Amino acid sequence: MEQTLYFILLLIALCSVSECVQRQYHFINVRKNWTEAQRYCRENYTDLATADNMNAMNELNKCVNDKDVQNVWIGLQRKWQWSSAEPALYLNWAPGQPDGKDECAMMRDGQWHDGSCRDDSLTFVCNSSKTNTGLVFVNQKMNWTNAQSHCKQNHIDLVSVRNQNENQQLQKFISDSHISGDVWIGLFRDSWQWSDQSNYSFSYWKSGEPNNVGGNENCTVIEPSTQGQWIDISCNQQFPFVCHEDKLILINENLTWSEALRYCRQNHTDLVSVHSEEIQRRVMNVVHRASTEAVWLGLRHSCTVGLWFWVSGQTVCYQNWAIDDSENCDSAVRSGAVQSGGDQRWISRPETDRLNFICSRYEE
Ligand SMILES: *[C@@H]1O[C@H](CO)[C@@H](O)[C@H](O)[C@H]1NC(C)=O
Ligand SMILES: *[C@@H]1O[C@H](CO)[C@@H](O)[C@H](O)[C@H]1NC(C)=O
Ligand SMILES: *[C@@H]1O[C@H](CO)[C@@H](O)[C@H](O)[C@H]1NC(C)=O
Ligand SMILES: *[C@@H]1O[C@H](CO)[C@@H](O)[C@H](O)[C@H]1NC(C)=O
Ligand SMILES: *[C@@H]1O[C@H](CO)[C@@H](O)[C@H](O)[C@H]1NC(C)=O
Ligand SMILES: *[C@@H]1O[C@H](CO)[C@@H](O)[C@H](O)[C@H]1NC(C)=O
């Protein structure tokens, strides 16, 4: 009885894991423009710095260890997107466009130009389910914002142009309809995106920012003197910058569990130990790129003690099993993996299976 109590107390003590930092930030005190800084970070670390919460923001700001630096690049830039919320993957700008001043797009002779969402008044094309072409021309001049509302109220949306084929169809539709002059399409630049494609859900703008002075402030710096608050600024300026290095790296090689452990310990730090929900989330971010249906974790079963444990020495407190079949201790030594598809929970596999695996790159 006393022994059981002691064991429970021990588990509680072992299980109170403090929140850990999942990214390491590196301050690079060399002045580069935003694009060069991005290239540098992608070559030497993971990407230009990303921050998705206040803790990360504090860490990021702390790593800027030169107090005389006024502005520091992070990986946030304005993005073009379709009114339908689709990301703009295909773009067909006329040479020299967008020239940075404006936030909405129009079509002229099949090519795209940027225009002022507010001040330019143009006819436009909506996407509709009621016509053969899927398109409707609205012969009324409006600013982009009103054109968008008009399409949403009366049809589907301002038209999206997602590939060359759709661009040719729209161009033909415009010339067949004998429309002259520029027409709005559904492309606009409104939101922000992180260089590493992580979600833009957290923001830390300085008051009055972003203000897009001169219309070409499509990149972001932090201001270390104001706890790292964000300011939009022209991408062509030169500043020092912060890169980040993700803690986890997926290795696309098919190795047994022991080979994977050796690989991680030699080339990185260790096979990943998923001792919190936070780390499970990071695992889910990388595991979908795997080529095997399961991916090794640093999770090992001991039949002697009848327990799972992490190779880092931690007790398995946080759990995310699909099935834990460790009860039937057969001859094969079992190790833990995470499913690369579905709801990405943990399963136990014979350690001789050949799977992709996840290494951690640095200690906490
Ligand atoms: C931002 O705008 C400038 C000026 O128009 C342009 O040269 C640059 O490519 C844009 N940068 C990004 C990251 O969108
Ligand atoms: C678009 O035009 C309408 C009516 O003229 C005006 O009320 C509205 O403020 C304009 N939109 C923008 C974003 O300026
Ligand atoms: C028009 O809208 C429909 C329904 O949302 C969509 O399936 C279609 O791809 C859209 N077409 C264009 C050209 O935007
Ligand atoms: C990003 O946000 C979208 C929509 O809110 C969500 O469906 C998606 O799971 C998020 N992605 C990540 C990696 O958090
Ligand atoms: C690993 O195994 C998967 C599934 O069997 C296979 O598709 C993939 O090509 C293999 N990868 C390597 C690097 O051998
Ligand atoms: C370390 O990585 C290299 C490939 O980058 C690989 O050839 C080598 O086998 C790895 N080390 C171990 C111990 O697996």
Of 7-21, 136-150, 177-191, 243-257, the one with minimum mean pLDDT is: 7-21
Does ligand 6 come within 6 angstroms of the Cβ of 262?
A: yes
112: Cα within 13 Å, side-chain hemisphere:
25
Residue 19's pLDDT band (boundaries 50, 70, 90)? Answer: very low
Query: Band of the pLDDT at 140, cuts 50, 70, 90?
Result: very high
Judgement on whether residues 222 and 279 belong to the same structural domain of the protein: no
Q: From the CA of 86, which ligand is nearest?
A: 3
Q: Count of domains in the chain? A: 2
pLDDT exceeds 80 at position 34: yes
> How many angstroms does the Cα of residue 127 sit away from the middle of ligand 3?
6
The answer, yes or no, to whether any atom of ligand 4 lies below 6 A from the CB of 266, is: no
Residues 166 and 217 in one domain: yes
pLDDT of residue 200: 83
Greater confidence, 223 or 4? 223
Q: For residue 252, what are its two tokens?
A: 């696309």
pLDDT at 291 over 90: yes
Alpha helices, DSSP H only, in 19-97? 34-44, 54-62
Confidence of residue 362 (pLDDT cuts 50, 70, 90): confident
Domain that holds residue 297: 2-18+247-360
pLDDT, position 18: 42
156 within ligand 3 shell (Cβ under 6 A) = yes
Query: In terms of pLDDT, which residue wins out, 95 or 216?
Result: 95
Ligand 2 binding pocket includes 146 (Cβ within 6 Å): yes
Considering the domain architecture, whether residues 73 and 165 belong to the same structural domain is answered as yes
Q: Is 160 close to ligand 3, i.e. is its CB under 6 Å away? A: yes
Residues 6+ apart with CB under 8 A from 71: 221, 222, 223, 231, 233, 237, 239
Q: Are residues 125 and 214 in the same domain?
A: yes
**What is the SS3 assignment for 347?**
strand
* Position 17 pLDDT exceeds 50: no
Q: Is the CB of 353 under 6 A from ligand 5?
A: no
Mode of pairing for the β-strands spanning 294-302 and 72-82: unpaired
Q: How many angstroms is it from 271 CA to the middle of ligand 5?
A: 19
Closest atom of ligand 2 to 119 CA is 14
Do 311 and 287 lie in a common domain? yes
Nearest ligand, measured from the Cα of 167 = 3
Cα 101 to averaged position of ligand 1 atoms, centre (Å): 10
Strand partners, 188: 81, 104
pTM of the predicted model, to two decimals?
0.60
- Residue 9 shares a structural domain with residue 61: no
Place of tokens 């053969």: 132
Least confident of 29-38, 98-107, 284-293: 98-107
Q: Is 52 helix (H, G, I), strand (E, B) or coil?
A: coil
DSSP state at residue 53: S
> So what's the pLDDT on residue 294?
97
**pLDDT of 331:** 65
- What average pLDDT does range 200-216 have in this prediction? 84
Domain edge (last residue) among 245, 260, 285: 245
Measured between its terminal Cα atoms, the distance across the chain in Å is 36
Of 81-85, 172-176, 224-228, 327-331, the least confident: 327-331
Question: Which residue out of 249, 258, 263 has the highest number of ligand 6 atoms within 8 Å of its CB and is therefore the one to mutate?
Answer: 263
In this structure, the answer to whether residues 196 and 94 fall within a common structural domain is: yes
For residue 54, give the nearest of 18, 16, 21, 17 by alpha carbon.
Answer: 21
* Together in a domain, 58 and 195: yes
287-304 average pLDDT score:
92
CA 126 / ligand 3 centre spacing (Å): 10
In order, the DSSP letters of 116-148 are -TTT--EEEEEE-SSSTTSEEEEEEEE-HHHHH
* Residue 298 clears pLDDT 80, i.e. is over it: yes
144 C-alpha to ligand 2 centroid (Å): 9
Residue whose CA lies nearest to ligand 6 atom number 13: 263
- Whether the pLDDT of residue 1 is over 60: the answer is no
Assess whether 223 and 241 both reside in one domain.
yes
Binding site membership of 145 for ligand 2 (Cβ less than 6 Å): yes
Q: Which helix (H) or strand (E) holds 3?
A: helix 2-15
| Boundary residue ending a domain (213, 245, 277) | 245
Task: Point out the ligand 3 atom lying closest to the alpha carbon of residue 170.
Answer: 13
**Do 318 and 277 meet the contact criterion of CB atoms below 8 Å apart?**
yes
**CATH number of residue 355's parent domain:** 3.10.100.10
- pLDDT tens string 142-187: 999 999 999 999 999 999 999 999 999 999 999 998 888 899 999 9
| pLDDT value of residue 20 | 47
pLDDT confidence bin for 204, thresholds 50/70/90: very high
- What confidence score (pLDDT) does residue 117 get? 86
Report which of residues 306 and 122 the model is more confident about. 122
Cβ of residue 166 lying under 6 Å from some atom of ligand 3: yes
67-119 pLDDT tens trace: 899 999 999 998 888 998 887 888 899 998 877 666 899 999 999 998 988 88
Same-domain status, 178 and 131: yes
Residue nearest atom 7 in ligand 6 by C-alpha distance: 263
189, 218, 245 - which closes a domain = 245
Ligand 5 pocket test: which of 255, 256, 292 has the largest number of ligand atoms within 8 Å of its C-beta? Answer: 292
Q: Clarify whether residues 308 and 342 are in a common domain.
A: yes
pLDDT at 246: 84
User: According to the model, what pLDDT value does residue 212 have?
Assistant: 78
Cβ–Cβ under 8 Å, residues 143 and 128: no
Residue 200 CB less than 6 A away from ligand 4: no
The pLDDT of residue 191 is 78
Q: Are residues 239 and 292 in the same domain?
A: no
